[in-house]
């Protein structure tokens, strides 16, 4: 299978790319060939952190950022009861901003199931 990406300038967002076996080679090649015209954002789970060691080095080609859930200080001006909402919906941006009890319960149930299965 041959990778094809849009030509020209812009931003390329690759989400959950770690599920593709050769993802580091792809990102490295894109960066080396198109770094003047293409900004690359790679997002995904914590598993991306595991790939910082060994294999095809991306050293010097990226900045690693860890995104944490919202804090009380960050959401203080967004809601009437920010502490209650953080407890109710969690600090994960998608859930907090949706403010849906149903979606929060579903996410929590799926997350706990995956954690229990993995351990």
DSSP string, the chain: -------SSEEEEEESGGGSTTHHHHHHHHHHHHTTTEEEEEE-STHHHHTTSSSS--TTS-----PPPPPHHHHTTT-SSHHHHHHHH-S-HHHHHHT-HHHHHHHHHHHHHHHHHH-
pLDDT tens for 11-61 read: 988 888 877 878 888 888 888 898 889 888 888 765 665 555 555 567 777
This prediction has a pTM of: 0.55
């Amino acid at each position: 299978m041959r990778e094809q990406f849009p030509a020209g300038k812009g931003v390329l967002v690759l989400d959950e790319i770690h599920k593709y076996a050769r993802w580091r080679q792809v990102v490295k090649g894109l960066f080396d060939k198109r770094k003047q015209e293409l900004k690359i954002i790679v997002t995904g789970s914590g598993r991306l952190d595991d790939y910082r060691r060994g294999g095809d080095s991306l050293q010097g080609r990226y900045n690693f950022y860890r995104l944490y859930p919202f804090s009380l200080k960050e959401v203080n001006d967004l809601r009437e009861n920010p502490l209650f909402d953080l407890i109710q919906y969690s600090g994960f941006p998608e859930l907090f901003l949706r403010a849906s009890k149903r979606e929060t319960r579903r996410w929590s149930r799926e997350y706990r199931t995956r954690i229990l299965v993995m351990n």
